[in-house]
Amino acid sequence: MAADPGRPMSDRARAKLISDAWERREGLKDLEREIIEARLAIENITRECEQLQTALAEKDARIHARRLGKPVVLVDPNRIRSAVSSPHAHRDPRGEQDPRSTASLPG
């Protein structure tokens, strides 16, 4: 409903605009709540995936150690990953990077 710029808005039209604005505002609040709930669900799923990945890595390490006939030694996979990806890992005196620092982990 377009208002004539030179004519004042009726009380009924003004009340309708205010009512519509409040409805949109409530709808936005509902959407905000849904977004927050979705973000929390994503965080929970991400945490569960990380736990499953850790459990899988531990299981894989046990299987690999058994195949080699060696004792099982578990370490934090995140620490291994960060040590391998570090640009300062395994540098030789000439300043060149040792190929061991970029080698993939067995498994």
pLDDT surpasses 60 at 98: no
pLDDT at 69: 85
Largest interatomic CA distance in the chain: 91
Mean pLDDT, rounded, for 90-100: 51
Alpha carbon distance 31, 9 (integer Å): 31
| Cβ–Cβ < 8 Å for 72, 65 | yes
Domain ranges of the chain: 12-68
Q: How confident is the model at residue 101 (pLDDT cuts 50, 70, 90)?
A: very low
* Residue type at 19 in one-letter notation: S
CA distance 92 to 61: 29
